[in-house]
Amino acid sequence: MEGECRRGKEKKRRRRCIIFCVVAVLLVFIILAVVLGLTLRGKTLHTSDTFQGTFIARCEKFSGYDCQKIWGVFQQAYVGRDPCNVPVEEYNPLIDAAPFKPACNRMMFWSKTKDVVHDFTEKRDCFGTLEETLLGSVLDGLTWCGKEGSSETFTTGCPRWTDCENNPVRSFWNRASAGFADAACGDVTAMLNGSIPTPFSPASIFGSIEVKRFNSTRVKSLNIVLVTQDNDVTNCTNPSLNDLQKELDTGIKYNCKEVAISQIQECSSHPEKPCGACW
């Protein structure tokens, strides 16, 4: 009888242990689920907050601007909208809030030479590109979009440049490029790629937007720097460059010079040399 009682007590203890273990495991799973949910939610918020933080921080490097106001105007262009239905005109208020300032004889345009151009302009204070203006600098390299019914800014799941014509990023750069070209004045310079068969493409932003905005009442000349490397077959007589000349507003002078990339890089390393000596 005493043995049966002991066995009964052992069974009860085992049941209690099993129940305790099951409850403990369930509690662990619940805690993990809650922590994971909060972590994922935190990451979503963090992504949005990081984008705004990057925008504001970059903007504040430029003095004389209300960066919080510019951020608000920027968001109005795409927040709550279908990410494939953000036309260029939606950024008009943003351009008005931070207009491009004319820098006669110092404005640099480019097509398929971004790395070369920016390496040069970062080391030499001769020219300025769109990416060095307030809006260009703030948004260079970033991706953003909104979604219908949401008041958030998203940085993932957004359409790529070629997915749809009116996506937020593409529309911004098209509008900003037009605004930058509208501000061009004096002698304008553009670096084109001499390592490809057609340095000037009418489908590029430079060909389809910027060149068409150069106005002879403000722009005196367009100076093409054709960046070349060893064994390149493209030169200033390239047919595509003849097409470029035809696109220019009557009265704008055209010049073209083939310049080796090594010469540009060497000149970048010697800030004491006058900029005109680089080519």
pLDDT higher at 223 or 43: 223
Name the token pair of 215.
């106005």
Residue in 194, 193, 192, 261 with CA at minimum distance from that of residue 222 = 192
How far CA 28 is from CA of 34, 118, 180, 234, in Å, comes to 10, 53, 58, 67
Average pLDDT of the chain to the nearest whole number: 88
**CATH architecture of the region 43-272:** Up-down Bundle (1.20)
Average pLDDT over residues 177-181: 98
User: Is the confidence at residue 252, as pLDDT, over 80?
Assistant: yes
Cα 197 to Cα 153: distance, rounded to the nearest angstrom: 40
User: Is the confidence at residue 161, as pLDDT, over 70?
Assistant: yes
Residue 64 burial by CB count (10 A; 0-12/13-18/19+): exposed, middle or buried? exposed
Q: Lowest mean pLDDT: which of 39-53, 96-110, 122-136?
A: 39-53
pTM to 2 decimals?
0.81
Name the token pair of 94.
């943003």
User: Is the confidence at residue 157, as pLDDT, over 80?
Assistant: yes
Angle at 116 between CA 227 and CA 271, to 5 degrees: 100
Which pLDDT belongs to residue 146?
A: 97
User: Is the confidence at residue 217, as pLDDT, over 90?
Assistant: yes
Which pLDDT belongs to residue 277?
A: 72
